[in-house]
């Protein structure tokens, strides 16, 4: 009996391990190829209520309303991305254009003064240490100069690489738009075809998965909206205390960056802090550095807690899934793996799948036992009543 249980456990373990391995391989290596179609499906689901409204209430054919809504949606998104991209490109261009002069006019004099002060202090302690500090200063300035040159070369390389990849990127966008149009227009037919291929059990599971996925995504949206609000509040307060003009508008921009996977608020706050310190505004630079550290710490503490509470996962499970997702799949995994685990947890809790015990089994068994006892008591009373009537 024990041998049979062990054999069954090994078979089940290998079965799930193979499935998990296949899923990881597909997600890691085929996700880039499938991404245009995945985004198209998500956009199609997003536009589904609007298409239904146009078709049922306004009596506009589904094909026409689908094409119009998809084009309008991608036009608005593209317009916003272009504005954001132009602003980022302009800021990056101005920064890299002034970087050499910033190095010559600010960094080198600041380092020179710092090393002169350090050399004078060291000479008082040990006269022989002055030569070593001169060598260290020469090496440091040379390394910084080489770093500036390397950064410029890397930026040129990134721009060149992006330019070479631009045709493929535009082709992916075109495929995504066309796929979205087809999915939006023929969504009922595609859904009906897929449902015909499934038995009743899988239909029910797919329906539950769709419902739970919608709830999970809504929970994630609320969670990150709350995180964005908290981040905005602390950045706005910090910038106001530091004395930065237009603190509210800057806080909105940084908070939006903080929501983006991997990018985060450091894309704005960290270069800003370094630039301010190098420019000689030590007070504001230290304030920005403290604000950046506070934002990072608060984000790392509150994100697993808030997201976990909203989607029904323990904070440690949420944090672990974020770390593993980022390690395995990059920025997509940071959100994708927690959402997947939350979906599996919700389906398991509802009883659609049975991967692990949730603790509800004992409660259900207890309820069944109580119902059985009540039914037994009723039957006994009924029998006694019948016997008394017969007598």
pLDDT in tens, 231-265: 889 888 988 888 888 788 788 878 877 766 555 67
Do 229 and 172 belong together in one domain?
Answer: no
Residue 271 lies in a domain: yes
Do 216 and 294 belong together in one domain?
Answer: yes
Q: Show the tokens assigned to 178.
A: 């066309």
Looking at beta carbons, which pairs linking 248-254 to residues 24 or more positions away fall under 8 Å? none
Upper half-sphere CA count for residue 127 (Cβ side, 13 Å): 0
- What pLDDT is stored for residue 71 in this prediction? 92
Do 193 and 179 belong together in one domain?
Answer: yes
Instruction: Give the number of residues written for the chain.
Output: 391
The answer to whether residues 45 and 180 touch, using CB atoms and an 8 Å cutoff, is: no
Residue 278 lies in a domain: yes
Do 43 and 145 belong together in one domain?
Answer: yes
Residue 106 lies in a domain: yes
**Residue owning tokens 């440091």:** 140
Radius of gyration (Cα) for the chain, nearest Å?
31
Do 206 and 345 belong together in one domain?
Answer: yes
Do 95 and 219 belong together in one domain?
Answer: no
Residue 372 lies in a domain: no
pTM for the model stands at: 0.59
Q: Which residue has the higher pLDDT, 288 or 148?
A: 288
Q: What is the mean pLDDT of residues 174-196?
A: 87
The answer to whether residues 212 and 347 touch, using CB atoms and an 8 Å cutoff, is: yes
DSSP per position, 232-288: HHHHHHHHHHHT-TTHHHHHHHHHHHHHSTTT-THHHHHHHHHHHHHTT-HHHHHHH
Residue 368 lies in a domain: no
- What pLDDT is stored for residue 75 in this prediction? 92
Do 190 and 254 belong together in one domain?
Answer: no
Give ∠ CA 218-224-226 in degrees, rounded to 5: 105
User: What is the percent of the chain with per-residue pLDDT over 70, rounded to a whole number?
Assistant: 67
What is d(CA 47, CA 167) in angstroms, rounded to the nearest whole number? 28
Total domains in the chain come to 2
**Residue owning tokens 């927690």:** 338
Q: What is the mean pLDDT of residues 321-326?
A: 79
Residue 5 lies in a domain: no
Do 153 and 206 belong together in one domain?
Answer: no
Residue 369 lies in a domain: no
Do 317 and 228 belong together in one domain?
Answer: yes
- Expressed as residue numbers, the domain containing 293 is 199-355
What is d(CA 7, CA 81) in angstroms, rounded to the nearest whole number? 55
Q: In the listed set 171, 197, 223, which residue is the last one of a domain according to the structure? A: 197
Do 207 and 191 belong together in one domain?
Answer: no
Do 277 and 234 belong together in one domain?
Answer: yes
Residue 266 lies in a domain: yes
Do 152 and 206 belong together in one domain?
Answer: no
Q: In the listed set 169, 197, 225, which residue is the last one of a domain according to the structure? A: 197
């Amino acid at each position: 009996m024990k041998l049979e249980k062990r054999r069954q456990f090994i078979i089940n373990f290998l079965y799930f391990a193979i499935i998990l391995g296949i899923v990881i391989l597909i997600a890691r290596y085929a996700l880039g190829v499938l991404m245009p179609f995945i985004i198209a499906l998500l956009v199609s689901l997003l536009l589904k209520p609007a298409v239904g409204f146009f078709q049922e209430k306004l009596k506009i054919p589904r094909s026409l309303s689908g094409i119009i809504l998809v084009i309008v949606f991608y036009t608005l998104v593209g317009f916003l991305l272009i504005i954001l991209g132009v602003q980022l490109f302009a800021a990056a261009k101005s920064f890299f254009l002034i970087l050499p002069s910033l190095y010559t006019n600010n960094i080198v004099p600041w380092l020179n003064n710092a090393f002169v002060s350090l050399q004078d202090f060291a000479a008082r302690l040990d006269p022989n240490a002055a030569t070593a500090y001169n060598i260290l200063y020469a090496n440091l300035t040379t390394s910084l100069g080489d770093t500036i040159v390397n950064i410029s070369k890397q930026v040129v390389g990134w721009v060149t690489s992006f330019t070479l990849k631009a045709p493929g990127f535009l082709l992916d966008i075109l495929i995504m738009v066309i796929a979205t149009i087809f999915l939006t227009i023929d969504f009922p037919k595609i859904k009906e075809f897929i449902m015909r291929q499934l038995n009743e059990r899988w239909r029910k599971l797919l329906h539950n998965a769709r419902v739970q996925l919608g709830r999970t995504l809504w929970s994630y949206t609320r969670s990150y909206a709350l995180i964005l609000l908290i981040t905005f509040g602390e950045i706005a307060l910090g910038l106001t205390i530091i004395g930065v003009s237009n603190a509210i508008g800057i806080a909105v921009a940084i908070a939006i960056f903080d929501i983006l996977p991997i990018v985060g608020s450091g894309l704005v706050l960290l270069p800003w802090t370094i630039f301010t310190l190098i420019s000689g505004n030590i007070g504001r630079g230290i304030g920005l550095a403290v604000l950046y550290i506070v934002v990072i710490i608060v984000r790392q503490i509150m994100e697993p807690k808030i997201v976990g509470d909203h989607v029904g996962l323990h904070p440690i499970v949420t944090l672990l899934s974020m770390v593993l997702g980022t390690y395995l799949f990059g920025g997509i995994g940071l959100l994708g793996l927690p959402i997947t685990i939350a979906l599996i947890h919700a389906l398991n809790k509802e009883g659609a799948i049975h991967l692990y015990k949730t603790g509800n089994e004992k409660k259900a068994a207890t309820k069944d036992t109580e119902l059985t006892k009540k039914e037994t008591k009723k039957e006994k009373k009924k029998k006694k009543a019948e016997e008394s009537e017969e007598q």
